[in-house]
Amino acid sequence: MSVRTVLLEHENKRLKEALVNEKKKRQRGKPLLLEAPTEYDGGAIFWSLKKSLEKKEKAEKRAKKERMLEERKRTHVIAKEIKLHTQAEKQLQKLAKKTPAPRKNTSKNKGKPKAITIESSTDEEELDEASDEEVSLMEMGAATPARSRRSRNINLPTRFRN
């Protein structure tokens, strides 16, 4: 009986070792994406699954990026066309508003030009509207400071002054 147990244990141990060896042999491998190099000189070529997968992913990313750029260009072109179209419509609307409807001239002075009146402002009115600084400059005989369209004083930096 003890001999049988020893034999069974020995057989069991050998079967376990055989099973481990079989599992090691059966390691599942992935097929390499083998592409022949353009300039093959007959030397050794080392293939790497990781590198081939990285190349494939890089190519996919590049293609995706190119597609995105093309899509973005198309949307920009479409947006530009829409913008130009709306601007043209606005200009047409402005022109339609500016062009007055033809009026019937019922006045007695047909063909005669109207008298043009020019408003002249006095020096006193200008002084009233001017600031204290401008008044002091005017009294001294200096030129009045430049003004913007919104009647604000334009002060030049010192490097641009005389």
Q: Do the Cβ atoms of 6 and 25 come closer than 8 Å?
A: no
d(CA 134, CA 154): 12
For residue 109, how far is the Cα from the chain centroid?
61
pTM of the model: 0.34
Averaged pLDDT for residues 99-112: 62
Residues 6+ apart with CB under 8 A from 130: 138, 144
Q: What's the pLDDT tens digit per position in 19-69? A: 998 888 877 666 666 766 777 777 777 777 888 889 899 999 999 999 999
Residue pointed to by tokens 């947006």: 79
**Which band of pLDDT confidence, cut at 50, 70 and 90, is reported for residue 127?**
very low
Range in 30-34, 35-39, 118-122, 152-156 the model is least confident about: 118-122
Mean pLDDT of all residues belonging to the chain = 78
Averaged pLDDT for residues 89-117: 70
Three-state DSSP at 147 gives: strand
Would you state the pLDDT for residue 18? Answer: 93
d(CA 129, CA 51): 81
**Which band of pLDDT confidence, cut at 50, 70 and 90, is reported for residue 141?**
low
Averaged pLDDT for residues 115-142: 52
Q: What's the pLDDT tens digit per position in 65-86? A: 999 999 999 999 999 999 999 9
